[in-house]
Amino acid sequence: MKELTQEEWQEKLKNDSDAVILDVRTEEEVAEGYIPNAKVIDIYKGQGFINEVEKLDKSKHYYIYCRSGKRSSQACTLLDQMGFSETYNLLGGFMEWEGEKTTD
């Protein structure tokens, strides 16, 4: 896991053809807005989270965020332990995100 600032995250993401954005917040949090093209898997779902993550391509690069950066840090550690090649945690999370956002 690497901790990335917003600037580093956006720069790296822009040039990464293997990038997958992963939002590990709850459905209620996601309803308030999210980073475009993010795949949502709620880390609070416990084994359900693990089951969903196991379906992902481990060779891709995962850019993970939550509300503040704490849950996404846990998610990065978990994915690392599961054998994923590259995980990146967004420092400050969605709360401090100043990039593009969307809502349904």
Residue 49, in any domain of the structure: yes
Residues 5/91, Cβ–Cβ less than 8 Å: yes
The one-letter code for the residue type at 101 is K
Residue 103, in any domain of the structure: no
The CATH number given to whatever domain includes residue 74 is 3.40.250.10
pLDDT digit string, tens, across residues 6-56:
999 999 999 999 999 999 999 999 999 999 999 999 999 999 999 999 999
Assess whether 66 carries a catalytic annotation: yes
Residue 55, in any domain of the structure: yes
Catalytic residue among 1, 66, 79, 90: 66
Q: What total of structural domains would you count in the chain? A: 1
**Does the global pTM surpass 0.75?**
yes
Instruction: Provide the residue range defining the domain that includes 11.
Output: 2-96
Residues 100/59, Cβ–Cβ less than 8 Å: no
Residue 104, in any domain of the structure: no
pLDDT digit string, tens, across residues 42-98:
999 999 999 999 999 999 999 999 999 999 999 999 999 999 999 999 999 999 999
Q: State the Cα–Cα distance between residues 100 and 34, nearest whole angstrom.
A: 9
Any idea what DSSP says for residue 34? B
Enclosing H/E stretch for 6? helix 6-14
